[in-house]
Structure 1
Amino acid sequence: MPELDKMGNGVTDTGGVTVRLPGMRVSYDGEAFDESSLAGTWTEQLQSWLDQAISAGLAEPNAMVLATANADGLPSSRTVLCKGLDERGVVFYTNYTSAKSHDLTSTRYASVTFPWYPLHRQVTVRGEVEKVDLTETKAYWNSRPRGSQLGAWASPQSRVVESRRALDTALNSIERRFDGVEEVPVPPHWGGWRIRPDSVEFWQGRQDRLHDRLRFVRTEDGWRIDRVAP
């Protein structure tokens, strides 16, 4: 646990160097990001920034923080990987019996944020969710490594397990089950979720914390562009 100084501020010991959390900051020096810089659609803009994150060599550039809430409004967040992007929305895959899927089934709404910290950028997509159809799910499933496929069969995601050994035993059982089977089938409890955005916000860090925030907002007549104060 971090110690607290006399002011109640968190103090972290990093190899003998004391760091006071209130003093930790990074100066954002990104270029101006205005309406004239935007692509014609949110999809093109997100793909452009994603391509730049990939070119910059960022780790897991398609990682996004997924936020959901259950029927009682209790929020949860976790990192998932974007595995689909087109005009319909962004897609990730998971266990349909997981906590996140229970939340999505209950509320039908979610938000994801791509956190590209080294580029001083982030993108937040928010909207209703829908399950990805089986044909699209199968196409992605067939591209996964066999080990990942077997793991999806073996893991009762989000449920309490008694030990790591229990998981390893479940995986061994699945390996025996599909031994000699060339193509592992898609589990009935596994598939994709698509977030169909009603808003997509592009955030570019700027000096003095006066960041640029441009948001695509869905309307009855198409998409509106709003500038939001930082």
Structure 2
Amino acid sequence: MKTELHDLRKNYQKSELIESDVPNNPFLLFKEWFEMAKEHPKIEEANAMSIATLGSDGFPKNRIVLLKEILDNGFVFYTNYESEKSKAIKNYQKGCLHFFWPALEKQIIIKVTISKVSKEHSENYFKKRPRESQLGAWASEQSSQIASREQLESKLKTVRERFENTSKIPMPEFWGGFICKPYSFEFWQGRPNRLHDRLLFEQVDSIWEMKRLQP
């Protein structure tokens, strides 16, 4: 059945993106926009980002993860190292991040190279997670098939019993963080009449070069 969507449209007019108003370092502009998103009352998870990777079947796959650290040289998220996305990262070491904040009419696309953070770095974060989240990391063989929700709950119960007398739950060897180091940033600001602002930053010889793209 055909569904017409051509009447779903919005005129963007909340802000603008002009070269003279932005810093030369895209990390600074990212942090500026991220703070705006974090403080906005209509944005519940400003750190939600999509990450696209390329699978062994040649198909790209996109999913939402939570950004947990903004470093001077990259962005860190945590996951199961045996998951589908981790296997894709192991094969290609590249991906694309996407942040979209509709309430601000802003989005950012970041092409990245991806590598594991150190075990110590991951452990420092794991210790700060809620206990139930730590148990969940042990219980789930992420991306593997399971017969039912009940089986997953049973696995969590088993893990909970295993560590019931343990005050500090250790980090699983199969779990940890990835750092995404940017190759390029594209900042998009919605503008009236679909004439949006797009500024692309690319690193050339350790220097960020900025150019404007047509909408």
CA contact (8 A) 2:95 2:112 kept: yes
For residue 221 of structure 1, report the CA deviation from its aligned partner: 4.3
In structure 1, give the amino acid aligned to 2:23: A
CA distance in 2, matches of 1:39, 1:186: 39
Residue 21, structure 1, aligned to residue 2, structure 2: no
Q: Which residue of 2 aligns with 1:30?
A: 14
Please list every run of at least 4 consecutive aligned residues from structure 1 whose deviation after the TM superposition is greater than 4 angstroms: none
**Distance verdict in 2 for CA 1:212–1:50, change over 3 Å:** same
1:207/1:133 CA distance change after superposition, 3 Å: same
Q: 1:199 aligns with which of 181, 184, 187?
A: 184
Cα distance in structure 1, aligned partners of 2:54 and 2:197: 28
CA distance in 2, matches of 1:105, 1:221: 25
Q: What is the number of residues matched between the two proteins?
A: 214
Q: Deviations over 1:189-224 (max 9, x none)?
A: 001111111101111000111111111101114110
Contact 1:43 1:86 in 2 (8 A): no
Q: Is the CA contact 1:127–1:197 (under 8 Å) kept in the aligned structure 2?
A: yes
Which residue of the other structure, out of 149, 153, 164, is the alignment partner of 1:164?
A: 149
- Aligned partner of 2:94 in structure 1 is 109
Q: Please name the residue that 1:16 is paired with.
A: none
Is contact 1:113–1:123 with CA below 8 Å preserved after alignment?
yes
1:22 is paired with a residue of what secondary structure? coil
Contact kept, 8 Å, 1:124 with 1:201, in 2: the verdict is: yes
- State the shift of 1:36 in Å: 1.3
Q: Who is 2:33 aligned against?
A: 49
TM-score by length of 2: 0.96
Structure 2 equivalent of residue 64 of structure 1? 49
Alignment of 1:110-129 (within 5 A): 110-129=95-114
Q: 1:42 to 1:162 in 2, by over 3 A?
A: same
- Match for 1:94: what amino acid? T
Q: Are residues 163 and 221 of structure 1, via their aligned partners in 2, closer, same or farther at CA, if it must alter by over 3 Å? A: closer
Contact map agreement 1:96 1:190 (CA 8 A) in 2 = yes
Q: CA deviation at 1:77?
A: 0.6
Q: Provide the residue aligned with 1:134 in structure 2.
A: 119
Among 188, 200, 211, the alignment partner of 1:215 is: 200
Q: Indicate the larger mover: 112-121 or 31-40.
A: 31-40
Larger radius of gyration: 1
